[in-house]
Amino acid sequence: MKKRLAVLTLFSITFAFFVTAEMYFIRSHYYPNGFDFPVKLLKGLPLAIEFMRQLANLVIIFCVSYLAGRNFRERMAAFMLVFGLWDIFYYIWFYTLIQWPPGLMTWDLLYRVPVQWSGPVIAPIIVSIALVKAALLIFYFESKNWNIKFNLSDWLVEVFAGIGVLTAFLWNYQKIQQGQIPEYFPWWIFGVSVGLGICYFAYRFGTFYISENRNG
């Protein structure tokens, strides 16, 4: 287990540098004076290529996660771990190379498809930290061979929380599409959604832990 986690961590950090290098050259082309809002809107072939590039990143993470896990839960945990570390180290590498972003409250364009995602840098980092911690918890339970069963209610709650987070990131897409500068981020939606996801996840794993210790 430790070797797999070490390899996944190494891959995540390395892949983060690869994506950072991609974005460095892309942004150097579109923003020679440094990235800032309002963003340059992509259309036609450039937008299609950017869509495929972002999709390819996710496919790479999926393939590595699939190979790293022995069952669905481990593969899901591997995906969460790699995605979270990748996102965190993406910003670490960017700051190391060009001292960007200057602060955690700096706004960033997170994705372009299907519409523009945006928010302060700290927001996706918070989500990524939660994903990494959740993934490590799943791996810990799996290493103990403890019984983890997610039911429909579990999935519905976490999907609902995820939709809330997505809503926060898409809050300003119309402004960005109109060439405006986003200024307001719906922290209340983001905070409630992230809090719901974390608290419910902790509650369910608490019940798993209590159940296993009783049976043990």
Instruction: Count up the domains in the chain and report the number.
Output: 1
Residues paired with residue 107 on neighbouring β-strands, in sequence order: 120
The model carries a pTM of 0.93
From first to last of the 216 residues of the chain, give the pLDDT tens digit: 789 999 999 999 999 999 999 999 999 999 998 899 999 888 889 989 999 999 999 999 999 999 999 899 999 999 999 999 999 999 999 999 999 999 999 999 998 877 899 999 999 999 999 999 999 999 988 888 877 788 899 999 999 999 999 999 999 999 999 989 998 999 999 999 999 999 999 998 888 766 666 655
- Amino acid 213: pLDDT: 62
Q: Is 110 exposed, middle or buried (0-12, 13-18, 19+ CB in 10 A)?
A: middle
Q: Cis omega (within 30 of 0) on the bond before 32?
A: no
The predicted-structure confidence for 55-107, as pLDDT tens digits, reads as follows 999 999 999 999 999 899 999 999 999 999 999 999 999 999 999 999 999 99
Q: Cis omega (within 30 of 0) on the bond before 114?
A: yes
Which residue segment(s) compose the domain that 13 sits in? 2-215
- Amino acid 212: pLDDT: 62
Q: Is 19 left (phi over 0), alpha (psi -120 to 50) or beta?
A: alpha
- Amino acid 211: pLDDT: 67
Check: CB of residue 100 under 8 Å from CB of residue 35: yes
Closest CA to 108 of 182, 177, 54: 182
